[in-house]
Structure 1
Amino acid sequence: MPATVVAKGASTSEESTQARPGRTWCRHHYKTSSSYSPRFAFHAMNTNPHFVPTPASIPPSDVVYRLGYDPQLGPANHHPLNPVAFLLRAAQIYPDKLAIAHPNVPRPVHYSYATWAQRIQNLAYALIRAGIKPGDRVAVIAPNSPMIAEAHHGILAARAIITPVNTRLKPLEVAYILEHSGASLLLIDHEYTQLVEGTKVPMIVSHDTGGVDDPYEEFLSLGRQFSSEKGWEGLDAERDEDAGAVLCYTSGTTGRPKGVLTTYRGSYLGAVANAYEARITKDSTYLWVLPMFHAAGWTFPWANVFAFATQITLRTVNYSHIWQHLLHSNVTHYCGAPTVQIGIVNEPGAKQPPQPVTAIIAGAAPTPHVIGELEKIGINPVHVYGLTCTYGPFTRNYDQPFWKSLSLQDRSKLIARQGHAFATADEVRVVHQPQEGKDPNVLVDVPRDGKTIGEIVTRGNIVMKEYFRDPEATRVAFQGGYFRSGDLAVMYPDGTVAIMDRSKDIIISGGENASSLAIEQELATHPHVLEVSVVARQHHKWGERPMAFVTLHPQHQSRWAGKHPEFATDLKRHARERLPGFACPEWVKVVPELPKTSTGKILKTDLRKIAAKL
């Protein structure tokens, strides 16, 4: 059995359950006399209007929204940037506003900003009680739900590093991430415990109920007890804004996931930029379609709180549920890859929502068809670009006045560009790739002709701190004092960039990054495979899918003679046992030999040309 931190029942002090002015609190009923009423959410989100937060979730009447900080340790004209401040500000200004709702589950929950802030405070104390120290890594394996949303704030409030793990990975990949990150504790949703069978990392299991008997809720209750009602001031503020805050793992060309370490400062400024660029305000409702484990939800867990917005979490990408909320829950914003947009516009119940909706699109450039279909039903597409190493998006294609006079086809070509850098980012550049005999630290911009291909580089506030425990990869990534994206692009006269290819051979399928080398390594374990090379091939739904070109071992060629389709089926089965679904090859082509250079390197450029013609 996996190691587990067991939270026994906990009582809450009388003081902690006192009502704040203007509210009546008790164990069986909750009501508010403020001017804000979340009743619209109860009906539209199918949320139980009689839901009662656990007693430990109820803040005291004299709550102070201020982290502990010694003013002697810094000048009066400076404070370290920390996204936890967004939560404290929101709870202070809009305590009764609906912060987060979790409908479409057997036991729906909803929390006001005051209640949610108390829960996050409890989580921070619970982590400290469990032995978590500043800089420790706390892993989270969960779908979009209150727990992972709370973790993005509570783990940072404990001055630890959140390590969100992709729920679509295989157990071996999850085990590697837990080991490489050195995770001290794991918060895990009950549906994903099979991913960590045999782990020695202590874990807290959430049954996603919000009820007092849920192990996660018991963990929070113990945190409240442990706090002795010291409140937020009993939690030390992180004094170093450049300290690690988030550790996300992303597939790379080495075949092993790389740990991308980002900071409090970058998370703060990335969140501010995303709220501004997406035009999220206190009147916005954000629907969680993008997984929060993906590059920490592109900083939107903090961006929405910065803007005082309401968040709705969905455990799965269910298009019926998405449209339920687009039509009836006043949803104004969501993020998603082009493949998600395709599913949304093709849902039978799709029609124009009663309010304006903005779709933030990344992962691949949206096609003119998708852009047109979104616009037809009143959804405004905003195309952004970024990587895990840049906190998610750091560029946006800003619409221009003259676009209105263009045809959809011409306008879509412009929308599909990656655009200009965000307000809190430094400029995005396209530079010539390093050449043999040239100093790789000297960066030379390509001409702004829309034709000359170079590599996208950037630096500044929303670039990662480092690759965790990999100084050599960090050094290479920052050659020339800029982050080298590995994405090949052109620069247009107006300063916009447009990606043309990916030098790292990353395949982006449904918004997920798949390493071609990692796929090749697994396919090569099939006993009948001699050589294999994998490239991206366009897919009508997923944007891209892997295509494998294979040569067979001579001793097995006769077995599959005239039966290449059967071999393809067998290799795909082999892949599904070893790779996440988005990394499994969609197509397999058996070839007599692979094209190679004189030095024996496989020419993937030739394979891409073949795939493009199929």
Structure 2
Amino acid sequence: MSSDPRFASINFTPTPASVPPQGARLSRKPLVNVPVNYHPLNPLSFILRAALIYPKQMVYTFSVWAQRIQNLAYALIKAGIRPGDRVAVIAPNSPLIADAHQGVLAARAVTVPINTRLKHHEVAYILEHSGASLILVDHEYQHLAKDAKVPVVVSNDTGRSGDPYEEAFSQERGWPGLDTDPDENAAAMLCYTSGTTGRPKGVITTLRGSYLGAVANAFEGQINKDSTYLWILPMFHAAGWTYPWANTFAFSTQSIIPTYGTTFLHSGVTHYCAAPTVQIGIVNDPQAQKLKRPVVAIIAGAAPTPHLIGELEKTGIKPVHVYGLTFEDFITLIARNPQTYGPFTRCYDQEPWKDLSLEDRARFMARQGHAFATAEEVRVVAVEEGSDVLVDVPADGKTLGEIVTRGNIVMKEYFNDPEATKKAFRGGCFNTGDLAVMHPDGSISVMDRSKDIIISGGENASSLAIEQELASHPHVLEVSVIARNHVKWGERPMAFVILHHQHVSRWKGRHHEFAADLKAHAKGRLPGFACPEWVEVVPELPKTSTGKILKTELRKVVAKL
């Protein structure tokens, strides 16, 4: 994998332990007593296949990486890690966490990736709740593992002999000495919610689900051997939406860099994943300019506005709009905090759209679309009163219901929480908590989170729909809308707005005039009950580690008004 300057350099020399011996076999111990027409799905097979077919691809080659992963697996086993044990990883995007996503599976253990932006007490709770037996930590985040009651291995991220992480590697013993997990439904990852509204919950995902999620992401994102994937999405976030395995499946080059400001202009990057707020920063960067070659942007984490999709296209960035749920997506719905393996639907381009204007085409592309090839169909349902029976709403593009699905890329369960698992799987489906409509063509459009709907004078107003229209104002860089109590109407929308950099000076000291201008803009696009009653210009919006806006924090602000 291509990485920071150390890995980007053509002079990079792997440590002796990272060099595979001549004739090394790239297969694990074969299973016995299994049918000839069956093998358990496991994303670990992708790196072995990549090392076999393209051993010399990338500066940090597949063959070297496969050797390092094998060494890590043996080191974990030597340290006492047994099948099913949990190994915590506290690291930003770096070789350490990339190794761990593969090497922990090779030891048949379960990875617990931990958000580096959490507080020490939150990390301590996750370590205790998960029952982690060992911690792998980047040197910059050692303080988060302070006072840990289990062994801690520190990486100085040098890749050289003498680094504690490199020294922890065992000597060559060969892939055939590592057992193959016979159960494809065994736990692969244990990811945690951010803990913003209570104790974090652990989400168990499986080898099978990770495999199928990775295959789907590579296919839907059109990633292949000639692709270079830029890591913007944190790998600790829901296992990086399975992209650590999707990229090895696709034989693509991976790039990890500290900043990405001009990367699209001066590198071979072809793909990246990021939430809409990150995409907004990219297209509005002062150095942004029309790209000479197309770059694919996989957008998820929140619904992009048609305006953002249009701006990406103008820059030469092709949006691939996908939808799914991860542990940070539902910090406001902890009681019903289910998870998929990142995306499970995609908005597929349709032939008639090519003749539309950019604005009209962008509105279609802002839909959440249809289910992935490896996912079960996505439904929009209403729940019958007093029962768990799920009834599909009419496919009329108007009737509101909740998105549900089931199948390959839905989480297995909440760790040690059967009651929460039962609630998440009400009616035999995975209940997302997202409200949507089903269009006549079978595609879905998210209208809002169930807790983000604004009920004004008995009318339901979608905060997402309001945001999409406000974002079309030429001076709005980013906007978030939430409900605020109103004496007469019960609730009314309040908009928090970040102005475009080039328009900040124009409205300095005149934010009340901008508010009036934005309200006038809204009145031509929205019904009266959906127009913002209040507009607050702010320098920034509270966000998660992946750039998702934290409406929970905005509600705290509004509660004090």
The 8 Å contact of residues 452 and 482 in structure 2, kept in 1 or not, is answered as no
Match of residue 116 from structure 1: 65
Q: Distance in 1 between matches of 2:106 and 2:317?
A: 36
1:407 pairs with 2:357: yes
3-state SS, counterpart of residue 147 of structure 1: helix
1:352 pairs with 2:290: yes
1:210 pairs with 2:153: no
Match of residue 123 from structure 2: 174
3-state SS, counterpart of residue 154 of structure 1: helix
Of the candidates 104, 128, 132, which is equivalent to residue 155 of structure 1?
Answer: 104
- Give the deviation of 1:196 after TM superposition: 2.7
State the TM-score, normalizing by the size of structure 2.
0.79
Q: 1:155 to 1:541 in 2, by over 3 A?
A: farther
The 8 Å contact of residues 376 and 406 in structure 2, kept in 1 or not, is answered as yes
- The residue type paired with residue 35 of structure 2 is P
3-state SS, counterpart of residue 51 of structure 2: helix
1:47 pairs with 2:8: yes
Q: 1:175 to 1:541 in 2, by over 3 A?
A: farther
- The residue type paired with residue 145 of structure 1 is S
Of the candidates 294, 299, 315, which is equivalent to residue 237 of structure 2?
Answer: 294
Q: 1:43 to 1:460 in 2, by over 3 A?
A: closer
Q: Distance in 2 between matches of 1:500 and 1:581?
A: 17
- Give the deviation of 1:191 after TM superposition: 1.3
Query: CA offsets, 1:19-45, max 9 Å, x none?
Result: xxxxxxxxxxxxxxxxxxx9xx89999
- Give the deviation of 1:369 after TM superposition: 2.4
Of the candidates 534, 548, 553, which is equivalent to residue 585 of structure 1?
Answer: 553
The 8 Å contact of residues 549 and 588 in structure 1, kept in 2 or not, is answered as no
Q: Distance in 2 between matches of 1:391 and 1:42?
A: 25
> Is 197-206 or 229-238 further displaced after alignment?
197-206
Q: Which runs of 5+ in 2 are unaligned?
A: 327-338, 454-462, 487-541
1:474 pairs with 2:421: yes
Q: 1:81 to 1:541 in 2, by over 3 A?
A: farther
Of the candidates 243, 261, 275, which is equivalent to residue 218 of structure 2?
Answer: 275
Match of residue 58 from structure 1: 19
3-state SS, counterpart of residue 391 of structure 2: coil
Match of residue 537 from structure 2: none
Q: 1:58 to 1:581 in 2, by over 3 A?
A: same
Match of residue 34 from structure 1: none
Q: Distance in 1 between matches of 2:273 and 2:202?
A: 23
- Give the deviation of 1:412 after TM superposition: 1.5
The 8 Å contact of residues 91 and 113 in structure 1, kept in 2 or not, is answered as yes
- The residue type paired with residue 204 of structure 1 is V
- Give the deviation of 1:343 after TM superposition: 1.1
- Give the deviation of 1:448 after TM superposition: 0.6
Q: Distance in 1 between matches of 2:451 and 2:424?
A: 12
Q: Distance in 1 between matches of 2:141 and 2:129?
A: 20
- Give the deviation of 1:49 after TM superposition: 2.2
Match of residue 386 from structure 1: 324
Q: Distance in 2 between matches of 1:242 and 1:274?
A: 20
User: Within 5 Å, which residues of 2 pair with 1:331-350?
Assistant: 331-350=269-288
1:305 pairs with 2:252: no
Match of residue 227 from structure 2: 284
1:234 pairs with 2:172: no
Q: Distance in 1 between matches of 2:356 and 2:279?
A: 23
Q: Distance in 2 between matches of 1:396 and 1:274?
A: 10
Q: Distance in 2 between matches of 1:74 and 1:547?
A: 57
Match of residue 69 from structure 1: 30
- The residue type paired with residue 341 of structure 2 is Y
1:488 pairs with 2:431: no
- Give the deviation of 1:350 after TM superposition: 1.9
Match of residue 24 from structure 1: none
User: Within 5 Å, which residues of 2 pair with 1:496-511?
Assistant: 496-503=443-450
Q: 1:379 to 1:591 in 2, by over 3 A?
A: closer
3-state SS, counterpart of residue 111 of structure 1: coil
Q: 1:166 to 1:280 in 2, by over 3 A?
A: same
Query: CA offsets, 1:566-589, max 9 Å, x none?
Result: xxxxxxxxx99xxx9965835724
Q: Distance in 2 between matches of 1:450 and 1:471?
A: 35
Query: CA offsets, 1:61-94, max 9 Å, x none?
Result: 0110111123x32011110001110000000000
Q: 1:547 to 1:289 in 2, by over 3 A?
A: farther
Q: 1:249 to 1:73 in 2, by over 3 A?
A: same
Q: Distance in 1 between matches of 2:106 and 2:121?
A: 30
> Is 402-411 or 392-401 further displaced after alignment?
402-411
Q: 1:170 to 1:494 in 2, by over 3 A?
A: same
Match of residue 137 from structure 2: 188
Query: CA offsets, 1:129-149, max 9 Å, x none?
Result: 111110111111111111111
Query: CA offsets, 1:423-473, max 9 Å, x none?
Result: 0000000110352x2x21x21101111111111110111111101110001
3-state SS, counterpart of residue 444 of structure 1: strand
The 8 Å contact of residues 339 and 543 in structure 1, kept in 2 or not, is answered as no
- Give the deviation of 1:362 after TM superposition: 0.5
- The residue type paired with residue 92 of structure 1 is L
The 8 Å contact of residues 210 and 217 in structure 1, kept in 2 or not, is answered as yes
Tell me the number of residue pairs that the alignment of Structure 1 and Structure 2 aligns: 473
The 8 Å contact of residues 275 and 548 in structure 2, kept in 1 or not, is answered as no
1:451 pairs with 2:398: yes
CA RMSD of aligned residues (A): 2.8
- Give the deviation of 1:231 after TM superposition: 0.5
The 8 Å contact of residues 134 and 152 in structure 2, kept in 1 or not, is answered as yes
Match of residue 375 from structure 1: 313
Q: Distance in 1 between matches of 2:68 and 2:289?
A: 37
Of the candidates 355, 360, 368, which is equivalent to residue 418 of structure 1?
Answer: 368
The 8 Å contact of residues 384 and 391 in structure 2, kept in 1 or not, is answered as no
Match of residue 87 from structure 1: 47
- The residue type paired with residue 112 of structure 1 is T
Q: Distance in 1 between matches of 2:5 and 2:161?
A: 26
3-state SS, counterpart of residue 390 of structure 1: coil
- The residue type paired with residue 427 of structure 2 is G
Q: 1:173 to 1:74 in 2, by over 3 A?
A: same
> Is 476-485 or 87-96 further displaced after alignment?
476-485
State the TM-score, normalizing by the size of structure 1.
0.72
Query: CA offsets, 1:489-512, max 9 Å, x none?
Result: 111111111111212569xxxxxx
Match of residue 381 from structure 2: 431
The 8 Å contact of residues 374 and 408 in structure 2, kept in 1 or not, is answered as yes
Q: 1:292 to 1:548 in 2, by over 3 A?
A: farther
3-state SS, counterpart of residue 11 of structure 2: coil
1:246 pairs with 2:189: yes
- Give the deviation of 1:485 after TM superposition: 0.9
Q: 1:311 to 1:467 in 2, by over 3 A?
A: same
Structure of higher CA gyration radius: 1
- The residue type paired with residue 371 of structure 2 is A
Q: 1:46 to 1:294 in 2, by over 3 A?
A: closer
Q: Distance in 1 between matches of 2:411 and 2:7?
A: 39
Percent of counterpart pairs with the same letter? Answer: 64
Query: CA offsets, 1:301-321, max 9 Å, x none?
Result: 000000100000124xx342x
Match of residue 517 from structure 2: none
Q: Distance in 2 between matches of 1:64 and 1:588?
A: 59
Q: 1:582 to 1:359 in 2, by over 3 A?
A: closer
Q: 1:548 to 1:445 in 2, by over 3 A?
A: closer
- The residue type paired with residue 425 of structure 1 is A
Match of residue 328 from structure 1: 266
Q: Distance in 2 between matches of 1:157 and 1:543?
A: 44
Q: Distance in 2 between matches of 1:257 and 1:309?
A: 34
The 8 Å contact of residues 547 and 588 in structure 1, kept in 2 or not, is answered as no
- The residue type paired with residue 279 of structure 2 is Q
Match of residue 137 from structure 1: 86
